[in-house]
Amino acid sequence: MNWGEILKMVIPILVVSIGWLLGQVSSFSNRLISIESKLPALITSEGTPTDSPISAERRQRMKEEIQKEMNDLNVRVTLIEERQKQNGR
């Protein structure tokens, strides 16, 4: 085999590889454009992430549970303070 025959075999492989690579770059570019177009929906102009309806709902439930627990603890503290006042007489 001489170099001419080797080049005849390798050139089509190189051309196909370069075509595939260009296709992948184009696909990546399209995916990047798609992600960038969705970005304003995820991040506000101030740079803070926006809430999804699911996370906002979960956070609201957690907030309500914490408020219930705080109210319960406030009642307990009040009762304990009253008992201490009565026992302290």
Q: Residue 13 is encoded by which pair of tokens?
A: 């492989």
Q: What pLDDT was estimated at residue 3?
A: 85
Query: Is the model's pLDDT at 89 over the cut of 80?
Result: no
Query: 15-19, 20-24, 44-48, 68-72 — which is least confidently predicted?
Result: 44-48
List pLDDT tens digits, range 27-76.
Answer: 999 999 998 887 777 777 787 777 777 788 888 999 999 999 999 999 99
DSSP per position, 37-87: HHHHHHB-TTSPBPPPHHHHHHHHHHHHHHHHHHHHHHHHHHHHHHHHHHH
Q: What pLDDT was estimated at residue 13?
A: 93
